[in-house]
Amino acid sequence: MKTYKIGVMGGDGTGPEVTVEAVKVMDAAAAKFGFKVEQTEYDFGGERYMKTGEILPDGAVDELKKQDAILLGAIGHPDVKPGILEKGLLLRMRFEMDQYINLRPVRLFPGVETPIKDKGPKEIDYVVVRENSGDIYTGSGGIMMKDTPHEVATQTAVYTRFQVDRALKYAFEYARKHGKKARGVGEENTVGLVGKTNVLTFVYDLWERAFHEMGKKDYPDIRRDYYHVDATCMWMVKSPEWFDVLVTGNLFGDIITDLAPTPQAGMAIVACGNITPEGFSMFKPFGGSVPKYTAMGVINPLATNCAMQMML
């Protein structure tokens, strides 16, 4: 019988509550489908940080890598300055564990209402592949002459061809295996690159050249589309049925996947994975810790259940 080693990190706010419910479902799935789960709980988050001053202690990343995957609740504490936990825990884990793909399914479940007129599960059915290791999130930049009238702040978007190529390869492979044609719900498997080639003429020139070179050489069976990011936001609402697999950089992926839950009827059923295709990955609900609702029993755990489903 297969045994999976799963680290469970409830985190902050309502995170521990929804994670407990997801673990119940995971245990039920294990009993039904014939596998075992060895769970290790971790208390990383705001409460530990305020008590100890530690976000991730020495050796924590190596310890986490011993697991097959991590199920995370939520990170964000009202008494901890924004950015401390996010950078010190989430971003550090992504970078040090090289979780270079953020995978975000955008699917409307049957029977769930959407605010988008005349759209249903058939139309709202695609996935966003967000490159998760580069772009403006790498920390390149700084502040000069702080607190003076001449203060200057820079934040630089950085990408290497290596980072771009591996994200594109993941998107093409995903489309080949899980695109609309592969699932029997469309005539083609399609990858759409989301960028801003008319303004960001360096970074997205790299993305576009790599996209077409790889697609033409290695994936001629997969249709290639290109969308400007601003137009993508419009079409996510107006014509979501156009999309199959979207791939984009870290910043644009962050933005468009914040829009995506609205057609899905809200964050309560949205999950994502921070993935190292060759190894260790972390799965979580899309929403935050919403601390004002802690211990009230009003947060829907379905998104965390969906994250657990992605993980398995």
Given a cut of 80, whether residue 268 has pLDDT beyond it is no
Per-residue pLDDT at 287:
81
User: Residue 139's pLDDT band (boundaries 50, 70, 90)?
Assistant: confident
Please provide residue 143's backbone torsions phi and psi, each rounded to the nearest 5 degrees. Answer: -120, 130
Asked if 1-97+280-312 and 100-277 have one fold, the answer is: yes
Q: What is the pLDDT of residues 39-63, one digit of tens each?
A: 999 999 999 999 999 999 888 989 9
Tens digits of per-residue pLDDT, 70-113?
Answer: 999 999 999 999 889 988 998 888 888 999 999 999 999 999 99
Q: How confident is the model at residue 265 (pLDDT cuts 50, 70, 90)?
A: confident
pLDDT surpassing 90 at residue 31: yes
* Statement: 100-277 belongs to CATH 3.40.50.300: no
Q: Which range, 6-20, 217-231, 250-264, has the best average confidence (pLDDT)?
A: 217-231
What pLDDT does 91 receive? 86
Predicted pLDDT of residue 90 = 87
If you average pLDDT over residues 280-293, what whole number do you get? 88
Q: How confident is the model at residue 242 (pLDDT cuts 50, 70, 90)?
A: very high
The pLDDT value given to residue 87: 87
Please say if the pLDDT value at position 159 is more than 90: yes
Sequence-distant contacts of 300-303: CB under 8 A, at least 24 apart: 300/18, 300/268, 300/269, 301/17, 301/18, 301/21, 301/22, 302/268, 302/269, 303/18, 303/267, 303/268, 303/269, 303/270, 303/271
Amino acid at 125: D
- Residue 223 pairs in a beta bridge with 190
Residue 90 burial (CB count, 10 A)? 19
**Domain parsing of the chain, residue ranges:** 1-97+280-312, 100-277
Structurally, at CATH architecture level, domain 1-97+280-312 sits in: 3-Layer(aba) Sandwich (3.40)
Per DSSP, the residues of the chain read --EEEEEEEEESTTHHHHHHHHHHHHHHHHHHHT-EEEEEEE--SHHHHHHHS-SS-TTHHHHHTTSSEEEEEE---TTS-TTHHIIIIIIHHHHHTT--EEEEEEEPPTT---SSTT--TTTSEEEEEEE-SSBGGG--EEEESTTSTT-EEEE--B--HHHHHHHHHHHHHHHHHHSTTTTTSSS--EEEEEE-TTT-TTHHHHHHHHHHHHHHHH-TTSEEEEEEHHHHHHHHHH-GGG-SEEEE-HHHHHHHHHHTTTTTT-GGG-EEEEE-TTS-EEEEESS---GGGTTSS-S-THHHHHHHHHH-
Q: What percent of the chain has pLDDT over 70?
A: 100
